[in-house]
Amino acid sequence: MSDPKKRMTVAELEETPEYQRLTPKQKLFIATYCDGGLSTGRYDAVAATLTAYKCKTPEVARIMSYSVMANIRIVAVLNRHFATEPIEEFLTMLDRAINNKKLTMAQLGALQLRCQILNLGNRLPNKAKILRPDVVADAKAKPKKSIEPKPVTPSKKPKDTNFKF
């Protein structure tokens, strides 16, 4: 992430609006996680989950720690703790949205708005650098097929309607 000297302490985090939005259990998780990381140099999400959520076993805490660490409020506070740049935070959110199979139009619109507000549209990396080289090579090698409309042919001709009276 960033230089350990720039990391915020729990006391500093407590004053941030991101921290104020947390539930009491989330606050305890953040305090345990960040204090442990600052004192030992090792951030342990499982130990913090065991402490904050009173899990019965370490295995339950390990499984639960994945959802806790993915919580948007927890991520926001940890971004402040690690002094993450807005572009890094946005790219992380964008990556999560790309992997989300149930992304809604509202979520997509929110991402676009955030990108505009942070003025990140011109700072995003080149698309070709993000994609794997084999994907880029495949895309260049296979030209896109143009779809031509099929000619319309009447399926049945109308019967002869010449009536003689």
Please indicate, yes or no, if residue 111 is contained in any of the structural domains: yes
Please indicate, yes or no, if residue 56 is contained in any of the structural domains: yes
Q: Which residue has the higher pLDDT, 145 or 102?
A: 102
13 and 66 fall within a common domain: yes
pLDDT digits (tens, 9 = 90+) for 83-110: 888 778 778 778 888 888 888 888 888 8
Q: How far is CA 164 from CA 46, 133, 146, 160, in A?
A: 93, 75, 51, 12
Stated pTM of the model:
0.60
Q: How far is CA 28 from CA 50, 66, 74, 127, 149, in A?
A: 11, 16, 11, 40, 62
65 and 101 fall within a common domain: no
Please indicate, yes or no, if residue 79 is contained in any of the structural domains: yes
- pLDDT at position 144, please? 59
Contact 114, 53 (CB under 8 A): no
Q: Which domain holds residue 90?
A: 85-132
